[in-house]
Structure 1
Amino acid sequence: MNTNTVLLLPSHLQSSFSSFSHSSNPFPSTSSLHHSFPSTFKSTRSLLLPATANYTTNNPSHLSLAATTTPRNLLLTLLRQTKTEEAWILYTDSTHLPNTTCLSRLVSQLSYQNTLSSLTRAQSIVTRLRHERQLHRLDANSLSLLAVSAAKFGHVLYAASVVKSMLRSGYLPNVKAWSAVISRLASPADDYDGAREALKLFKSVTRRLGKFQDPDMIADSRPDTAAFNAALNACANLGDSKMFLKVFDEMPQWGVVPDALSYNILIKLCCRIDRKDLLVFVLERVLQLGIPLCMTTLHSLVAAYVDFGDLETAEKIVHSMREQRRDLCKILREAESNLFEDLGTGHDDDGGNDEDEEGEECVLQKLLPNLVNPTGTDPPLLPKAYAPNTRIYTSLMKGYMKAGRVADTVRMLEAMRRQDDSASHPDHVSYTTVVSALVETGSMDRAREVLAEMLRIGVAANRITYNILLKGYCKQLQMDEARKLLKEMIDDAGIQPDAVSYNTLIDGFILVDDSAGALAFFNEMRARGIAPTNISYTTLMKAFALSGQPKLAHKVFDEMVNDRHLKVDIIGWNMLVEGYCRLGLIEEAKKVIQKMKEDGFHPDVGTYGSLANGIALARKPGEALILWNEVKERCKVGKDGNKSDSSIQPLKPDEGLLDTLADICVRAAFFRKALEIVACMEENGISPNKTKFMKIYVEMHSRMFNSKHASMARQQRRVERKRAAEAFKFWLGLPNSYYGSEWRLEPMDGYE
């Protein structure tokens, strides 16, 4: 079995590896779970393979001239002198692979440089080694640094693959590396796939480490508190309390003790599972355990109540802190006293006996033992008085903003300005919150005044501030002001716009029906070296689709397909279908849908809705019948749960799609199909517009089947159609010949 191989960088590189950026999110995110990473994962007991046993002890200054005459020795010399750029050039010029020592050092130093270009170079070395089946030439230290660097630049799936590859190869990744990857995987709160992948990776590493009997062998890899917090964060994002408890219970097995951050994550879990009543118990548990209380915990509490929409309790927390009170737990208990009464009856006020709820309650009681008999003890006091800081005030401001309380948002900013403590003064996030609140109400002049004040007092506005203002101008169709603001952002503030800035402008020009302006900003974005996103392409496609230029939309789509940095999604396909359907070009739209299916995408409600509108525009009711049959089949799969045919995916239709199909069928006198569609609408909780359909029937079909001169054969052929028409009239509430209680139509013998 292979063991850890630790390579040490030169002494002047032994400073801490650059930390991940801190998020303003009050709940712990992956970027805040790790404050710093050592430049090398230096251990107290380094395990060295023979190939690398001597390279860390050599002194570059003592190299003889003969030792530097060969390319291999020259490369090693450059690496020892940390001349990474020269070493990279020498590596690329050589047709032969360097030895293990040089390769590992080069990958380590490139990863340590902390730039995207150096990461790309390190990745290219790994790719080459993989193709030549020489990955074993890299040691654990270099791969660990590569994983950290890749995670830092958002290449989390690549970073995870590096860690998995190390495990398969018998290497033990350093805890700073694998926990950083887990942190990044679980970072986006709404990325459930990332959270699940983070937990899988956590289990894989801990399972592997658990197989070692000698603790010294895994000293550098064993999970620490930060690693467990990363896994707990993934559980909280998933809202999985049972998995949270399972990970939490593993901490003592590894000699890890929960810290304040662990309980901050528990606050986040309470929000995810909609248990506001538990927040005070988390605070009390932290105090009972004697865990040093930090401002982040109090900030998380305020943010949690804001997230629940309970601004009154959030205000009580802030007011108590301003009054230097220590009895915060008592204040929160009184605020939630009605919920405590429910807890006293087993938290089952509806008399139910749901096993899942009981199981969750049991889990929560294990996480919070103080949850049992909460009224039996006096609430603990805070160890000292805490004054609210800028982050706490700003969280409350965000609550006011979400509630539409713009005046309170502005007043909070004024109150923060008057604070004696500089730690409570508004920062760029506070000002940006006020700007956002004003923009939401359309008060652009006042929002610009806030921006001007920021510049005057030296609080630097950032890209987010300007993007919010850009969105406000575009929403109000003030495109000239948006142009001026972009120029001011670049020339005066020195802030470079990003893809969000340009996407906002492109969308603004679509709103004013200026596809040329949208294209101009799309080209400007690329000229500035800003890579377009999926939204950039689909927004530009929307411009051409709305202006009746589907061929240009198709060209943009082809560019998106050829962009190797992007993966086409269903939105791009739908926008392409929309472009053709707006002109009634049904055959072209159907070709796109067929290609879409061949590429593994299943049409969704948006796809079918666009096609239905195109069919109505083209006046091809026969196409509507074909489309309805496909929609009906997928609705049936979704209803019955029958997945025997994996090629048919379930579909939940919306009102727009079904209403358009019903409209086409009624106009074309396809009453049987119209009845099927309105039945589907009612089954999905959608109320059909009977008034509209009655008007269509009276205007177009009220004189149907009144001809007395039709032949007997023709009259017989009309029997089923007339029967369907009478059933439809009954559904509308019109007088009819046959139906008095049931409008749903069963087929007659010999008819389908």
Structure 2
Amino acid sequence: MNILRPPPTSSSSFPPCPNSNTLTAAASFTPTHNPISLCSINPPFTAAGHPTRRHFFARSASGTANSSAGDLSSFLGSSPEAYSTHNDQELLSLLRNRRTDEAWAKYVQSTHLPGPTCLSRLVSQLSYQSKPESLTRAQSILTRLRNERQLHRLDANCLGLLAMAAAKSGQTLYAVSVIKSMLRSGYLPHVKAWTAAVASLSAAGDDGPEESIKLFTAITRRVKRFGDQSLVAQSRPDTAAFNAVLNACANIGDTEKYSKLFGEMSEWDCEPDVLTYNVMIKLCARVGRKELIVFVVERIIEKGVKVCMTTMHSLVAAYVGFGDLRTAERIVQAMRERRRDLCKVLRECNGEDLKEKEEEEEAEAEDEDAFEDDEESVYTPRDEVIEEGSEDVFKKLLPNSVNPSDEPPLLPKAFAPDSRIYTTLMKGYMKNGRVADTARMLEAMRRQDDKNSHPDEVTYTTVVSAFVKAGLMDRARQVLAEMARMGVPANRITYNVLLKGYCKQLQIDKAEDLLREMAEDAGIEPDVVSYNIIIDGCILIDDSAGALSFFNEMRTRGIAPTKISYTTLMKAFAMSGQPKLANRVFDEMMRDPRVKVDLIAWNMLVEGYCRLGLIEDAKRVVSRMKENGFHPNVATYGSLANGVSLARKPGEALLLWKEIKERCVVEKREESSPPMLKPDEGLLDMLADICVRAAFFKKALEIIACMEENGIPPNKTKFKKIYVEMHSRMFTSKHASQARVERRVERKRAAEAFKFWLGLPNSYYGSEWKLGPRED
């Protein structure tokens, strides 16, 4: 049975199954919460929506509902079981006739829990509708069944459809949770269901791509255990599944994993398609191998894979990402001229790049010869910084790059640029600050004969972004008005770009007016991104009350906060000196099952206490952070250093430096030990400043040595000024006792060494300022 199609009806057939190639999530939707009280959150779905809680106990539902019942009047005095049977018959009849909304109303009104067949059909049809309201209803059924310990009533078909619907609605954690629950319950979900979860994870932030690869590996490993593969034919990975996980590898630049999975495609009888190679173009761009992109295109042609317009989009986007607008322009021009020798054009661009690189190296060599007394150069050309092992990987993936053909192959047909191609090039102009070129491109697109090249809402939004980036808000609003005149409706992204522009210019009043105009005049409801932008704008004008007001308004509208929403509100309270309120927001975030707390949120909490010098509270937060599996990073230590300075507790700086120094040591580290740390200038300078002011010169010299080892030039002028103002009269008393003199011998040696480093008159005549063993 195909588990990705609602159960067949007796009267009519359902529409075809959703396209499995649609790997990206649809419009974002999350269930609503109550307005924030900074006390508690009541999630709309329970542990079934969280990947770390208890799983479903799903079992396949078979058979049909109980035997048909008579007239309703005959059941008025009957047992609850008979009444329930009659309800099941009515509910099943509604579902068979695809009257899903009426079936839902019948389910809500019923005081008895329907049978397995009715429940599975109802969840299936609600999930299949692909509407936010329907998805919420399906999730509520799972919540009820879990609370009543009746999850075994649902079959694999409805769970697979629910996972797909959640993934396409942007509820990645919920979708993955359903798939993992099915695996734990002994079910193998349909390939389209688990592919949707893998694809959604691959495009997610944080550790989403890594989790995507793990999920793919877990499912395929389970499928391999079956000796008779015909039993799991519907769960075997197909090309779309491999494309989803390969996209995850490309997003994190993992060439080894990409090569391994690419090689496994043949084991599963899967052939790479054009999307597979488009993802390979992304991988080349991600790891900085621009010169290999042409060989990906040639490989597509050699393998006889049908080239499509998406490949052209990937090419232009890759070169725009490299900042190589010259090559991107030449690709677009070749397309305008209907040329098929695009590979030849790309090879010529590679040759020009190589020539320019050789000229740069020659210039560098001449500069090095001009300074013979300089230290040995450590210059490494940017294009030569290649990931270890990636060279061999690409030899396997692109054997044609080792011995390229003398004559580049021709495209099977010419492709004319469309609006997406032009828009991608415009984004390159925008990123480089070429506002005039962006506007000229818009005007040129309007004059194109081909309607496919006319500007659309994405094109206009790109122009709006260019003007916003340049601070030309009036011009940006003019483009918005022009969109209305040209009959191109602005979308939510267009308004969000304008909102961000007003907030950056601290024009929060205009941002608020635009938010109302967006909802009332344009009929576009603001989303969580819109509110995140305006909450961040409130922070820029130090309006924490306004930030909280918009946060609550967002919740009232039924828009669920994201991780950015919580951390932005925490930032508002931390910046305004209200760390306790930031802590309460953090606790809300910890309780929200849809949000994954990360190191940024922990650091924001630490920052709130450190800004007021509440170092003990900050240390308690750091302890909680470590207990939850997070290790402090440079930002964490930087906040602690600032807090120590404000609290005037130099002794805490010594403890902080000890921990940092241990994490800077390059040794064979155990798996349980925290990762290595590379301190930055701000952190080390702050610690050295504290130590110099507290006359901890030995530690100050250690920190300065660490700065020089990491290529950070210490601010010697600043430290000299501090020493002269605070310590120039140290150790000048002639009446100190002998015991006191002996106790401060080491401190005096450190002070003299520090003066030697500063270049001040001193009694330390060693050739190196670094402290060594004391000589009698």
* TM class, shorter-length: 0.7 to 0.9
Q: Which residue of 1 aligns with 2:371?
A: none
Q: Which residue of 1 aligns with 2:14?
A: 14
**What letter matches 2:203 in structure 1?**
S
- The alpha-carbon distance between structure 1 residues 334 and 654, as it changes in their structure 2 partners (threshold 3 A), is closer
Tell me how far apart the structure 1 counterparts of residues 236 and 540 of structure 2 sit (CA, whole Å): 55
Q: Deviations over 1:224-263 (max 9, x none)?
A: 3322322322232233334333333333444433222222
**What letter matches 1:8 in structure 2?**
P
- The alpha-carbon distance between structure 1 residues 367 and 604, as it changes in their structure 2 partners (threshold 3 A), is closer
Q: Secondary structure at the match of 1:640?
A: coil
Maintained 8 Å contact 1:20/1:152: no
Q: Secondary structure at the match of 2:711?
A: coil
**What letter matches 2:234 in structure 1?**
D
Worse-superposed segment, 62-71 or 409-418: 62-71
Q: Deviations over 1:169-192 (max 9, x none)?
A: 45442222122222212123x55x
Q: Which residue of 1 aligns with 2:31?
A: none
Per the TM alignment, residue 443 of structure 1 is displaced from its structure 2 partner at its CA by 1.4
Q: What are the within-5 Å matches in structure 2 for residues 187-206 of structure 1? A: 187-188=203-204, 191=206, 193-206=207-220
Tell me how far apart the structure 2 counterparts of residues 662 and 152 of structure 1 sit (CA, whole Å): 52
Q: Deviations over 1:171-216 (max 9, x none)?
A: 442222122222212123x55x333333333334334444556565
- The alpha-carbon distance between structure 1 residues 736 and 50, as it changes in their structure 2 partners (threshold 3 A), is closer
Residue 66 of structure 2 corresponds to residue 52 of structure 1: no
Alpha-carbon RMSD: 3.5
Per the TM alignment, residue 720 of structure 1 is displaced from its structure 2 partner at its CA by 1.3
Q: Which residue of 2 aligns with 1:235?
A: 249
Q: Secondary structure at the match of 1:81?
A: helix
Tell me how far apart the structure 2 counterparts of residues 620 and 609 of structure 1 sit (CA, whole Å): 15
Worse-superposed segment, 651-660 or 693-702: 651-660
Q: Which residue of 2 aligns with 1:40?
A: none
**What letter matches 1:613 in structure 2?**
N
Maintained 8 Å contact 1:604/1:651: yes
Residue 153 of structure 2 corresponds to residue 140 of structure 1: no
Tell me how far apart the structure 2 counterparts of residues 135 and 553 of structure 1 sit (CA, whole Å): 38
Residue 198 of structure 2 corresponds to residue 182 of structure 1: yes
Worse-superposed segment, 679-688 or 393-402: 679-688
Q: Which residue of 1 aligns with 2:403?
A: 373
**What letter matches 2:198 in structure 1?**
I
Q: Which residue of 1 aligns with 2:440?
A: 411
Q: Which residue of 2 aligns with 1:499?
A: 528
Maintained 8 Å contact 1:6/1:139: no
Q: Which residue of 1 aligns with 2:349?
A: 335
- The alpha-carbon distance between structure 1 residues 12 and 274, as it changes in their structure 2 partners (threshold 3 A), is farther
Q: Which residue of 2 aligns with 1:386?
A: 415
| 2:699 pairs with one of 648, 673, 692 | 673
| 2:653 pairs with one of 624, 628, 640 | 624
**What letter matches 1:297 in structure 2?**
T
**What letter matches 1:711 in structure 2?**
S
Q: Secondary structure at the match of 1:336?
A: helix
Q: Which residue of 1 aligns with 2:121?
A: 105
Per the TM alignment, residue 687 of structure 1 is displaced from its structure 2 partner at its CA by 1.6
Maintained 8 Å contact 2:693/2:722: yes
Maintained 8 Å contact 2:251/2:286: yes
Q: Deviations over 1:561-615 (max 9, x none)?
A: 4545444443333333333333333344344444444555433322332232232
Contiguous gaps of at least 5 residues in structure 1: 23-28, 33-48, 343-349
**Higher relative contact order (CA closer than 8 Å, sequence separation 6+):** 2
Tell me how far apart the structure 1 counterparts of residues 548 and 530 of structure 2 sit (CA, whole Å): 14
- The alpha-carbon distance between structure 1 residues 270 and 589, as it changes in their structure 2 partners (threshold 3 A), is closer
Q: What are the within-5 Å matches in structure 2 for residues 44-443 of structure 1? A: 52-53=62-63, 65=71, 70-82=83-95, 83-85=99-101, 87-88=103-104, 98-126=114-142, 135-188=151-204, 191=206, 193-212=207-226, 216-337=230-351, 360-376=390-406, 378-443=407-472
Q: Secondary structure at the match of 1:374?
A: coil
Residue 667 of structure 2 corresponds to residue 640 of structure 1: yes
Q: Secondary structure at the match of 1:52?
A: coil
- The alpha-carbon distance between structure 1 residues 593 and 743, as it changes in their structure 2 partners (threshold 3 A), is same
Residue 514 of structure 2 corresponds to residue 485 of structure 1: yes
Q: Deviations over 1:128-159 (max 9, x none)?
A: 66677765543332222122122223333443
Worse-superposed segment, 574-583 or 595-604: 595-604
Q: Secondary structure at the match of 1:384?
A: coil
| 1:657 pairs with one of 669, 683, 687 | 683
Tell me how far apart the structure 2 counterparts of residues 647 and 277 of structure 1 sit (CA, whole Å): 39
**What letter matches 1:719 in structure 2?**
V
- The alpha-carbon distance between structure 1 residues 146 and 536, as it changes in their structure 2 partners (threshold 3 A), is closer
- The alpha-carbon distance between structure 1 residues 107 and 309, as it changes in their structure 2 partners (threshold 3 A), is same
Q: Which residue of 2 aligns with 1:42?
A: none
Q: Deviations over 1:602-640 (max 9, x none)?
A: 33322332232232223232332333333333334xx33
Residue 741 of structure 2 corresponds to residue 715 of structure 1: yes
Tell me how far apart the structure 2 counterparts of residues 606 and 110 of structure 1 sit (CA, whole Å): 46
Contiguous gaps of at least 5 residues in structure 2: 27-58, 76-81, 357-379
Q: What are the within-5 Å matches in structure 2 for residues 436-475 of structure 1? A: 436-475=465-504
Q: Which residue of 2 aligns with 1:538?
A: 567
Tell me how far apart the structure 2 counterparts of residues 272 and 406 of structure 1 sit (CA, whole Å): 26
Maintained 8 Å contact 1:107/1:146: yes
Maintained 8 Å contact 2:340/2:414: yes
Tell me how far apart the structure 1 counterparts of residues 694 and 222 of structure 2 sit (CA, whole Å): 67
Worse-superposed segment, 408-417 or 591-600: 591-600
- The alpha-carbon distance between structure 1 residues 444 and 3, as it changes in their structure 2 partners (threshold 3 A), is closer
Q: What are the within-5 Å matches in structure 2 for residues 540-689 of structure 1? A: 540-563=569-592, 565-636=594-665, 639-643=666-670, 646=672, 650-689=676-715
**What letter matches 2:522 in structure 1?**
A
Tell me how far apart the structure 1 counterparts of residues 390 and 18 of structure 2 sit (CA, whole Å): 40
Q: Which residue of 2 aligns with 1:695?
A: 721
How many residue pairs are counted as aligned between the two chains?
A: 706
Q: TM-score when scaled to structure 2?
A: 0.82
Maintained 8 Å contact 1:4/1:171: no
**What letter matches 2:467 in structure 1?**
L
- The alpha-carbon distance between structure 1 residues 602 and 17, as it changes in their structure 2 partners (threshold 3 A), is same
